[in-house]
Amino acid sequence: MLKIAVAGATGYAGGEALRLLLAHPGYGKDFEIGSLTGGSNAGERFGDLVPQLPQLADRVVEDTTREILVANDAAILGLPHGLSAALDLPESMYVVDCGADYRLQSADEWSRYYGSEYAGARTYGIPEIPGNREVIRNSTYIAAPGCFPTGATLAALPGIASGLIAPQISVVSVTGVSGAGKKANVKLLGAETMENLRAYSVGTHRHTPEITQNLQAVAQEGEDVNVVFTPILAPLTRGILTTVTAPARGSLQDIRRAYADFCAGEPFLHLLPEGQQPETQNVRGSNMTHLQVESIDGMVVVTSAIDNLTKGTAGAAVQCLNLMLGWDETAGLPQSGI
């Protein structure tokens, strides 16, 4: 029986990963929950910190060290950027890294947006990108995608891949506060976020090069993808609603058919009927991406809704882990929202 560790187990991403693993059909049969690690919470009772997971309540949080993690067969890392690369986990482990350390293929882009030493690139964890599912199956270390890039990439991907959307893209994403993780920050206090909307990191957000990288991989030959990204913080606990706007290169009927064909074979992509818009409440707690396509005066507007903690982070990690370990890709991943 495999032992799967979760680093950053008391954070939002780590807790969500454990929620999904505990409901996984392989839990207790194919795998058990291994080490639960944290930083400042090491030595504390897990149930005092994450009471919503009573199955693990009496476990003790351990330090996040290489020695503790390598005692497991696999690990999901829910750590701030910069910490995963420093662990230097061996190739013999199956690792899904929810941090940013290995997402970008360009050292220059990493330096520009993160300003620290570049650690390199690993297999990127969006299975829906054409050809990427097999690469994930044959990898042992996956760089899970960021939550904003997931919503934006899956919204634009069918249009860019088909050539029916021009690669000059404006992305606006409205997000809940859990995407920032568990940390003390005045701007994330209830009094600062309730009854308020605020754009932030406009033009400089670290997920911009990741979105561009994903779409450039499927763009028409010889075309450069340009992305302008604006994130907006909303008084939500979880969820991301994204709109992608770009010039159309075909009729709405043709574009919608391309999206329908793309989504048809994807278990976690759902193109809504015409006239019905994605809503974050309908994907809450699920691994789904709901999509809608509209065309206005030669412009395409694609809307996506995801749960930033599930499909945007921990759900993507479990989806990749399923592929790596030869399990059913959908195992343990709810398609129904709460």
Active site (catalytic) residues: 147
Distance spanning both ends of the chain, measured CA to CA:
31
Angle at CA of residue 324, ends 54 and 213, nearest 5°: 105
Question: Which distant-in-sequence residues (6+ apart) come within 8 Å of 95 by Cβ?
Answer: 74, 75, 76, 77, 89, 140, 141, 142
User: Which SS3 state, helix, strand or coil, does residue 45 take?
Assistant: strand
Supply the angle between the helices 208-216 and 147-162 in degrees, to the nearest 10: 30
Residue for token pair 């809450």: 284
According to DSSP H, which parts of 5-80 are helical? 12-22, 46-49, 66-69
According to DSSP H, which parts of the chain are helical? 12-22, 46-49, 66-69, 83-87, 107-114, 132-137, 147-162, 190-193, 208-216, 252-264, 315-324
Q: Torsions phi, psi of 229, nearest 5?
A: -120, 125
Q: How many CB atoms lie under 10 A from the CB of residue 254?
A: 13
d(C-alpha 238, C-alpha 287), whole Å: 13
Q: Are 278 and 290 in contact (CB under 8 A)?
A: yes
d(C-alpha 198, C-alpha 174), whole Å: 9
d(C-alpha 18, C-alpha 318), whole Å: 10
